[in-house]
Amino acid sequence: MKSIITRVTINTCHETELINITDKVHSEVKKSGVLSGTVFVMSLHTTTGLTVNEGLPDLEADIANYLQRLVPENYPYRHARFLHSDGQMAINAPSHLRGALLGFEAFFPIEHGVIVCGGRQTIYFVELDGPQERTYLIQILGE
Amino acid sequence: MKSIITRVTINTCHETELINITDKVHSEVKKSGVLSGTVFVMSLHTTTGLTVNEGLPDLEADIANYLQRLVPENYPYRHARFLHSDGQMAINAPSHLRGALLGFEAFFPIEHGVIVCGGRQTIYFVELDGPQERTYLIQILGE
Amino acid sequence: MKSIITRVTINTCHETELINITDKVHSEVKKSGVLSGTVFVMSLHTTTGLTVNEGLPDLEADIANYLQRLVPENYPYRHARFLHSDGQMAINAPSHLRGALLGFEAFFPIEHGVIVCGGRQTIYFVELDGPQERTYLIQILGE
């Protein structure tokens, strides 16, 4: 059984942003030569998300906007004080909460060397506290 | 290592609906002859969900009702205009958002040829934009 | 391919509570001797969650508090009547709904015998209807 792990680093541009990583995940599976197995995709951060939805710019905007409304910025969060471990103020409790609701990982089966998914299923890395340099990971498990 | 992929097509009957697919997933695992491994279950759509909860009709109604309240129908969503790619009006932004919150997949270990799960853990395919014909997928990975 | 399944029983102390299980998951992976594969972690209950976030007490309190606000206690839920199957009143619809939003499982790749995750990614078992005795499961799949 092969396990091929790829780390992909990207630079996000906005505070909240959906980045379409579908092509990268599909191409890594093809490149791996794995014919049968499962691909796992995950973010390595706690103020980001990973989600699957239809690949339409309108929906990307609706998802970003909805998350911002669902978890308000103005609330007396406890995670809102100077953090000695970070050397700065913690002001991103809403980012952590949005990530908790959205989730940070997804998997897809691999069959005949390609990912099995629905025709509209687009994989998004979701920045929730940007802009920042971020890393997500693709693991291809199979043979 | 075996990878057995089964696509299951169902017809949903309501706009929002929880469909208990537990027996189907358990029986596919037994039928596969795989004694040890993992089963992955996922929806192939972007206006559906897949969730695990206790198998009670009261709770199914509460979950459906809560999702409808949490993501309101009446909001100036951007995904609300004529889509040339679909040849019709996009009016289902709330369905996409409900799916994003609920998630669309789950996994369970397989041990001694049966799924390991809690006694109350019931697997639901969740229609969020029905009624429609829908497909979910079961992958059994193991040996 | 090895599949090692460990059930871990814990006693929770509060109605809503985030319990850091990161060290246990990492140590089970090391103990297993599996060098390459995937670890799956899941709760076996339907009024609990499993989530990954930064390991800060402030954030634990914010997540618990946010879930309680997002799913209100006072609503005419249908799951609020005498259940003959349980011999008691069902009064925990909000616990089930919070669990549905949070999710109940997570996976991480294993590389060179250790879990691959982000430096801040802390694994939490989340009690949503405590205090109770609870069990979560760790499956290590690989070789």
What percent of chain A has pLDDT above 90? 91
Min Cα distance C130 → chain A (Å) is: 20
Give the start-to-end residue ranges of the domains of chain C: 2-71+89-142
Flag whether pLDDT at B82 surpasses 90: no
User: Hey, CA dihedral for C108, C111, C117, C122, is it positive or negative?
Assistant: positive
Alpha-carbon distance values, A21 to A3, A9, A110, B49, B119 (Å): 20, 11, 17, 21, 37
Give the torsion through C-alpha atoms of A122, A125, A129, A135, to 10 deg.
-170
Flag whether pLDDT at C86 surpasses 90: no
Task: Give the mean pLDDT of C67-96.
Answer: 90
Contacts of C116 in chain A (CB under 8 A): 5, 137, 139
Flag whether pLDDT at B136 surpasses 90: yes
Give pLDDT, residue A82. Answer: 81
CB atoms closer than 10 angstroms to residue B86: 9
Q: Kindly report the CA angle at A22 between A21 and A25, in degrees rounded to 5?
A: 90
- On average, the pLDDT of chain C sits at 96
Give pLDDT, residue C85. Answer: 82
The residue of chain B nearest to residue A35, with distances taken between CA atoms, is B3
The residue among B4, B48, B78 with the most chain A CBs within 10 A of its CB, best to mutate, is: B78
Residue predicted with more confidence, C90 or A8? A8
Task: Give the mean pLDDT of B78-107.
Answer: 91
Confidence bin at B137 (pLDDT 50/70/90): very high
pLDDT in tens, A6-26: 999 999 999 999 999 999 999
Q: Is B13 helix (H, G, I), strand (E, B) or coil?
A: coil
User: Hey, CA dihedral for C68, B117, C90, C79, is it positive or negative?
Assistant: positive
Give pLDDT, residue B88. Answer: 84
What percent of chain C has pLDDT above 90? 91
- Using CB atoms within 10 Å of the CB of residue B17, give its burial: 0 to 12 exposed, 13 to 18 middle, 19+ buried: middle
Give pLDDT, residue C15. Answer: 96
Confidence bin at B141 (pLDDT 50/70/90): very high
Residues of C with CB under 8 A from a CB of B: 1, 3, 5, 40, 42-47, 70-71, 77-81, 83, 90, 93, 96-97, 99-101, 103-105, 107, 135, 137, 139, 141
The residue among B8, B71, B83, B101 with the most chain A CBs within 10 A of its CB, best to mutate, is: B101
Give pLDDT, residue C17. Answer: 98
Task: Give the mean pLDDT of C36-63.
Answer: 98
Flag whether pLDDT at A90 surpasses 90: no
Confidence bin at B81 (pLDDT 50/70/90): confident
A108 closest CA partner among C39, B48, C114, B5: B5
Q: Chains B, C: CB contacts under 8 A, how many? A: 85
Task: Give the mean pLDDT of C47-68.
Answer: 97
- Using CB atoms within 10 Å of the CB of residue C135, give its burial: 0 to 12 exposed, 13 to 18 middle, 19+ buried: middle
Task: Give the mean pLDDT of B87-108.
Answer: 94
pLDDT in tens, C9-36: 999 999 999 999 999 999 999 999 999 9
The answer to whether A29 touches A115, Cβ cutoff 8 Å, is yes
Q: What predicted TM-score, i.e. pTM, was given to this entire model?
A: 0.97
Give pLDDT, residue B5. Answer: 98
d(Cα C48, Cα C11) in Å, to the nearest integer?
13
d(Cα A111, Cα A58) in Å, to the nearest integer?
31
C97 closest CA partner among C117, C116, C121, C72: C72
Confidence bin at C61 (pLDDT 50/70/90): very high
Beta strand A2-11 pairing with A114-115:
unpaired
The residue among B97, B102, B108, B140 with the most chain A CBs within 10 A of its CB, best to mutate, is: B97
Flag whether pLDDT at A81 surpasses 90: no
Q: Is B130 helix (H, G, I), strand (E, B) or coil?
A: coil
C139 closest CA partner among C45, C35, C3: C3
Q: Could you tell me how far CA B121 lies from the centroid of its own chain? A: 14
Min Cα distance B110 → chain C (Å) is: 9
CB atoms closer than 10 angstroms to residue A107: 20
CATH number of this structure's domain A2-71+89-142: 2.60.120.460
Give pLDDT, residue C90. Answer: 79
User: B8 pairs with which residues across the strands?
Assistant: B136
Flag whether pLDDT at B122 surpasses 90: yes
pLDDT in tens, A22-57: 999 999 999 999 999 999 999 999 999 999 999 999
A35 closest CA partner among A107, A108, A110, A109: A110
Confidence bin at A88 (pLDDT 50/70/90): confident
Give pLDDT, residue A38. Answer: 98
Flag whether pLDDT at C84 surpasses 90: no
- On average, the pLDDT of chain B sits at 96
Give pLDDT, residue B89. Answer: 81
Joined tokens for residue A2: 């092969």
DSSP A52-84: EE---HHHHHHHHHHHHHHS-S-S--SS-SEET
Flag whether pLDDT at C124 surpasses 90: yes
